[in-house]
Structure 1
Amino acid sequence: MSIQSDVGQGPLGHPDAVPVPDPVRDARPVRRKPRKTHRNAWEGKPSPLGQGLKAVVLAGVVLTVLFPLYTVVLTSLSTTADVNRSGGMVIVPGTLTFSAYEQILNGGIVTRAAMVSIGITAVGTLLSTSVSMLAAYGLSRPSSILHRPILFVFLITMFFGAGMIPTYLLVSNLGLINSYWALILPGAVSAFNVLILRSFFMGIDPAITEAARIDGAGDWRILRSIVAPMSRAVIAVVALFYGVGYFNAFFNAMLYINDNAKWPLQLVLRSYVLQGVTLPGSGAGQVDVATGAVTGLPVKMAIMVLAVIPILLVYPFVQRHFTKGVIFGAVKG
């Protein structure tokens, strides 16, 4: 009867056996998987030529965007003589003057139109954002009544509209002709913005809202204290969408507002730039030959600058939320 030694056996041998080192086996070189030396084009550091091309392309894009703004601002600050000498938009600075801004601001109608646009934008944005949040929160709750049929109705409005004449008849029957509410209520809710908010609300962890509900919070408290603070980014983006839409809208004012004293700034701008109409009390028709007061194109460009300034002042505060809010609202849920 032979006795087999456990010496040299590994873990599969006797449980108390200790493996004995093998000098021959341990001296063998360990073969390692060769490291990947090739890198994809987007993983490596760009070459100096690539960096130079990127800089040239970005500079070209920036100049393409800024050059029209530069010519508009410079033309608004130029005299009539400089505009006539350049044959239109001024590119090379000449005599700079604020006469165009003084004329349109002293006339009264442009200042009043700017105040009307700012008021409509503020009230409309607040109303539209609040209503959209309420609709989105209700449609994001699985336990809400008839939320799927109502959501289907919202989707239909994105592809089919009533048309201009039925909408005008509805506004007229509601007694909103020549009223500021005619510029707010017909487009107060956008189905697209409601869907963005709904997608974001559905992405919030249900355990958070359920914990609040166990503590006795109702839907109003949950929306105000939990959902809204967690959705600041997407709410800011939706508010920006509504604000830009209200401030740039002119078609509803052209349909429903007959009194030019209630016109928003965009409709006044359209009358100046596209139709060449000088409204009474605007100051645009005042020309002082002795002092070389400006008229025509500089006045039009000055009104365009005034129409752009409010959006440029607001956009930097919302821009940091823009990408985050759109992406989260689009993919969550």
Structure 2
Amino acid sequence: MHHTSSAYRWFLRFNYVILTVIALLCLFPIVNILAISFSSSAAVNAGSVTLWPVDFTLSSYRYMLENNQFIHSFGTSLLRVVLGVSVNLLFTILVAYPLSKEAATFRSRTAYAWIFVFTMLFGGGLIPGYLVVKEMGLLDSVWALVLPGAVPIFNVLLMLNFFRGLPKELEEAAWMDGAGHLRTLWSVYLPVSLPSIATVTLFSLVGHWNAWFDGMIYMRSPEHYPLATYLQSILQQVSVQNENVTFEQAALLNEISDRTTQASQIFLSILPILAIYPFLQRYFVHGLVVGSVKG
């Protein structure tokens, strides 16, 4: 039986307290935004909303769901995430697999590895990148948000190190059964690489969902903005308009304010990540290197 000292038990308790405090501090802004989104404009303007809604109302969400620009931007972000994560994951695996081989197997591995690392440290700049996207005819399309970052080098390094940690016997057994590289990658490497795949998938998903600067550069019209770019634009201007509205819309505008509508939009924008993360978080328990291979 494993016995722990009194000092070690106190150390664990101290860690639990510190981690709990940090978790609460991280949750406080989210809970505050949620409370503001469900509160009346008078309560928010009075500064009486902290962690619980005051004068509970759904007016901000009603107004937001009637905003066609928000709905269209939300759909653009969903499309970007589906295409971007798929492209990132495909190129990450296809690049990491050959780079994980020994120099005796892949003689040019070191040269290619340095080329990829160089692109991670140095870039061509904003203007050359814009000119490349423009000359390829990608402006004002979702591909302008996907293709420039198709090969995330950081994710490649994570997957590369994971592939290197897998037992060589797995690959040797596949080769003895007549499998080639693609068959070995698909049938041997990928099934035991779920923790690493989940990790790079989550990194790509969060990166594409939260990216806003490229949408502002490559999208000529606000109608094609992804959600993060749209939110960035409304946070810098008044989002509630009072012109050319019907009587019902005018009554609704009296119940909301810029802060309540922005809070509702911000909360709905982070809701997909909050919903997906718990399903991928369990893979982090195993770590990036241990994975599902034991011994």
TM-score, with length taken from structure 2: 0.87
Match of 2:154 in 1: 192
Structure 1, unmatched stretches of 5+, are 1-41
Q: How has the CA–CA distance of structure 1 residues 312 and 293 changed in structure 2, closer, same or farther, with 3 Å as cutoff? A: same
Task: Tell me the alpha carbon deviations over residues 259-314 of structure 1, each in whole angstroms, 9 at most, x when there is no partner.
Answer: 22211111111112234356999x9xx96348842121000000110111010011
In 2, the alpha carbon distance for the partners of 1:231 and 1:262 equals 36
In 1, the alpha carbon distance for the partners of 2:115 and 2:8 equals 54
Q: How has the CA–CA distance of structure 1 residues 52 and 212 changed in structure 2, closer, same or farther, with 3 Å as cutoff? A: closer
Matched AA of 1:105? L
Q: How has the CA–CA distance of structure 1 residues 153 and 203 changed in structure 2, closer, same or farther, with 3 Å as cutoff? A: same
Q: How has the CA–CA distance of structure 1 residues 47 and 154 changed in structure 2, closer, same or farther, with 3 Å as cutoff? A: closer
Once the two structures are TM-superposed, the CA of residue 120 in structure 1 deviates from its matched residue by 0.6
Q: How does 1:1-333 map to 2 (within 5 A)?
A: 43-46=4-7, 56-86=17-47, 90-142=50-102, 143-276=105-238, 288-289=250-251, 292-328=254-290
Note if contact 1:271-1:278 (Cα within 8 Å) is conserved in structure 2.
no
Q: How has the CA–CA distance of structure 1 residues 50 and 178 changed in structure 2, closer, same or farther, with 3 Å as cutoff? A: closer
Note if contact 1:83-1:90 (Cα within 8 Å) is conserved in structure 2.
no
Structure 2, unmatched stretches of 5+, are none
Task: Say which one has the larger Rg.
Answer: 1
In 1, the alpha carbon distance for the partners of 2:254 and 2:172 equals 71
Once the two structures are TM-superposed, the CA of residue 77 in structure 1 deviates from its matched residue by 0.4
In 2, the alpha carbon distance for the partners of 1:74 and 1:211 equals 57
Figure out how many residues of one structure are paired with residues of the other and give that number.
Answer: 284
Q: How has the CA–CA distance of structure 1 residues 232 and 56 changed in structure 2, closer, same or farther, with 3 Å as cutoff? A: closer
In 2, the alpha carbon distance for the partners of 1:158 and 1:207 equals 32
Note if contact 1:79-1:292 (Cα within 8 Å) is conserved in structure 2.
no
Once the two structures are TM-superposed, the CA of residue 145 in structure 1 deviates from its matched residue by 4.8
Q: How has the CA–CA distance of structure 1 residues 49 and 229 changed in structure 2, closer, same or farther, with 3 Å as cutoff? A: closer
Q: How has the CA–CA distance of structure 1 residues 193 and 276 changed in structure 2, closer, same or farther, with 3 Å as cutoff? A: same
In 2, the alpha carbon distance for the partners of 1:288 and 1:316 equals 40
Task: State percent identity of aligned pairs.
Answer: 33
Task: Tell me the alpha carbon deviations over residues 230-266 of structure 1, each in whole angstroms, 9 at most, x when there is no partner.
Answer: 1111011011111110000011100000122211111
Note if contact 1:78-1:90 (Cα within 8 Å) is conserved in structure 2.
no
CA-atom RMSD, angstroms? 2.7
Look up the SS of the partner of 1:229 in the other structure: coil
Note if contact 1:136-1:198 (Cα within 8 Å) is conserved in structure 2.
yes
Q: How has the CA–CA distance of structure 1 residues 60 and 297 changed in structure 2, closer, same or farther, with 3 Å as cutoff? A: same
In 2, the alpha carbon distance for the partners of 1:264 and 1:178 equals 11
Once the two structures are TM-superposed, the CA of residue 170 in structure 1 deviates from its matched residue by 0.7
More helix by share: 2
Q: How has the CA–CA distance of structure 1 residues 165 and 280 changed in structure 2, closer, same or farther, with 3 Å as cutoff? A: farther
In 1, the alpha carbon distance for the partners of 2:275 and 2:57 equals 23
Once the two structures are TM-superposed, the CA of residue 80 in structure 1 deviates from its matched residue by 0.8
Note if contact 1:100-1:294 (Cα within 8 Å) is conserved in structure 2.
yes
TM-score, with length taken from structure 1: 0.78
